[in-house]
Amino acid sequence: MDLIRRLFTAALVAGVLSGTAASVVQQATTVPLILEAEKYEVVTPPAASAPASAPETAHQHGPVREVGEGVPTTLDEAMQRIGLTIASNLLTGVAYALLLSAAMLLAGRPVDARRGLVWGAGGFVAVSLAPSFGLPPELPGMAGADLELRQLWWLAAAAGAGVGMAALAFARNRFVIAAAVLAAAMPHLVGAPHPESAEGAVPPELAAHFVTASLGSAALFWAILGAVCGWLMSGLVGEAEHRPALRTQPGAR
């Protein structure tokens, strides 16, 4: 179908462009902080409590790895890790672009690159800013509550913020708007799941720097994603409104 093909093409292009930009910025900002934080991630000294029953192997423990297992030590490992991160960023871009372009389509309002920028800002608020309000972007080695609880809260905060903004922008019924705003506020009223004691191993300076780096790169990512989505969707959305003849055409017979 023509519409689906063009929708998916727009999302693919927007996702690849924004994911590429995010990859470049992340390699310079967030990723070095992640690698630095992983030095603090491993707290159990490897083979320190090993019994002395195998003395011949003791020599092989010369360069004991004190950093996280995932920290790349060779060029191959480093390249593989960067490659996988870039691939993940591209997939993230395409996934968010599909969701954003679907929202543009359902809203049915005209879009272009500039309006797309506003849509992108909305996406940033929904999935970056709103969840970060309760669950700050976290480095490896930071203390956190149960993962599934945090994922659920993240989803609720993001979906709530998205629904709330969409209702404020497009809804006419004030009860719908009130319910949507309540849905946006509810996860924050309930509160994000936090660990009993916030005693992570990562230095607070590193963690604070990571929060701003993560939000900053996400803002750039969403600006590009929204603008490109809006630009490529400009011929697809909003024109149906100017065609009231849609219902009178007996094409369906």
Partner 1 sequence: MTTRSLHTAAGSATRSAAQTAVAAFAAILLGSFLLYGVGFAQPQQIHDAAHDARHSFAFPCH
Interaction mask 160-199, partner 1, x per CB under 8 A: ----------------------------------------
- List the one residue from 7, 21, 125, 223 that touches partner 1 (CB under 8 A): 7
Is 128 a residue that touches partner 1 (CB under 8 A)?
A: yes
- Touching partner 1, residues 53-82 (CB under 8 A): 70, 81
Q: How far apart are CA 68 and CA 140, in angstroms?
A: 9
* Sign of the dihedral through C-alpha 93, 96, 102, 106: negative
Tokens for 25? 């910025």
How many residues bind partner 1 (CB under 8 A)? The answer is 64
Determine the 3-state secondary structure of 22 from DSSP: helix
Q: Whole-number minimum distance, CB 154 to partner 1, in Å? A: 5
CB 77 within 8 A of CB 53: no
Is 105 a residue that touches partner 1 (CB under 8 A)?
A: yes
- Our CA dihedral for 241, 247, 248, 251, rounded to 10 degrees, sits at 110
- Touching partner 1, residues 194-233 (CB under 8 A): 210, 214-215, 217-218, 232
Q: Whole-number minimum distance, CB 90 to partner 1, in Å? A: 9
Q: Whole-number minimum distance, CB 247 to partner 1, in Å? A: 10
Distances (CA, A) of 169 to 119, 216, 222: 11, 25, 18
- List the one residue from 115, 154, 184, 230 that touches partner 1 (CB under 8 A): 154
For residue 99, the one-letter residue type is L
CB 220 within 8 A of CB 28: no
CB 163 within 8 A of CB 180: yes
Which residue's CB is nearer to partner 1, number 1 or number 75?
1
Part of the chain binding partner 1 (CB under 8 A), chosen from 59-67, 116-124, 150-158, 171-179: 150-158
Q: Enumerate the H helices of the chain as residue ranges.
A: 2-28, 30-38, 75-107, 113-124, 130-134, 147-170, 174-190, 204-232
Is 20 a residue that touches partner 1 (CB under 8 A)?
A: no
What is the binding site for partner 1 (CB under 8 A)? Answer: 1-4, 6-8, 11, 22, 26, 30-31, 34, 70, 81, 84-85, 87-89, 91-92, 94-99, 101-102, 105-106, 108, 128, 131-132, 135-140, 144, 147, 150-151, 154, 210, 214-215, 217-218, 232, 234-236, 239-240, 243, 245-246, 249, 251-252
